[in-house]
């Protein structure tokens, strides 16, 4: 079981005991209720197309994972989502927005040209970079690359990490997604809170402790 923190493409070993310590989270700023949405980038979005074949392959993979028969789950490799839809460091924020809308995912790992993870972008990051002006919503710096808004320090784990430890790390570090990498730091899969919930609800009987 190995954890790494990727920062600007550099892999730094992470101490498990530090990751298991509970971290504090800053509260989000309250947002005003929006009664009408006007997309200020409609023309640019219409010019962007997502590879339909790739989307079908990915969606089918996620569907198959969700509908697997019950089986023993011990390590990350047993329940991680794979393949993983990623963004490149040069992907524009406007293009990333389209992917969030199209795939309905909450996280996208960001990779460099050698397919090594260098960051991660969440829907919260996109929300934080959105302008809210009365009845108008628009994306800030739409022509900037996602590398400008992504989280640079990404906690990752190896495929043999136990599910119990993964749950503890994600809970204590307040992260919604944990990329899984191999010994060469190549992205193998992604574990999200939804993946963990899917494992839990497949249990016939559960006992809960606080």
pLDDT, residue 39, reads: 42
- Render pLDDT for 116-150 as a digit per residue (tens, 0 to 9): 899 999 999 988 887 766 555 566 778 899 999 99
Query: What one-character-per-residue DSSP string does 105-154 give?
Result: -SEEEEE-TTSBEEEEEEHHHHHHTEEEETTEEEETTTTSBGGGTSBSEE
Each residue of 46-67: pLDDT tens digit? 444 444 555 555 555 555 555 5
pLDDT tens digits for 147-195?
A: 999 999 999 999 999 999 999 999 999 999 999 999 888 999 999 999 9
Cβ partners under 8 Å of residue 124, min gap 6: 28
Domain chopping of the chain, boundaries: 1-17+82-189
Residue 41 has pLDDT above 70, yes or no: no
Does the domain formed by 1-17+82-189 have CATH 2.40.160.10? no
């Amino acid at each position: 079981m190995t954890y790494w923190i990727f920062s600007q493409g550099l892999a730094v070993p992470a101490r498990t005991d530090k990751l298991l310590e509970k971290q504090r989270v800053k509260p989000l700023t309250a947002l005003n209720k929006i009664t009408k949405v006007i997309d200020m980038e409609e023309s640019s979005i219409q010019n962007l197309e997502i590879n339909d074949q790739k989307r079908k392959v990915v969606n089918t993979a996620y569907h198959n994972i969700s509908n697997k028969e019950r089986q023993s789950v011990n390590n990350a490799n047993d329940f991680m989502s794979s393949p993983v839809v990623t963004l490149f460091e040069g992907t524009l924020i406007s293009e990333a927005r389209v992917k969030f809308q199209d795939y309905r995912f909450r996280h996208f790992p960001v990779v460099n040209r050698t397919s090594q993870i260098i960051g991660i972008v969440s829907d919260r990051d996109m929300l934080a970079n959105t302008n809210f002006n009365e009845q108008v919503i628009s994306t800030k710096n739409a022509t900037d690359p996602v590398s400008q808004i992504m989280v640079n320090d990404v906690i990752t784990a190896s495929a043999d990490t136990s599910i119990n430890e993964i749950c503890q790390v994600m809970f204590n570090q307040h992260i919604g997604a944990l990329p899984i990498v191999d010994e060469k730091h190549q992205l193998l899969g992604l574990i999200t809170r939804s993946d963990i919930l899917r494992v839990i609800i497949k249990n016939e009987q559960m006992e809960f402790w606080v």
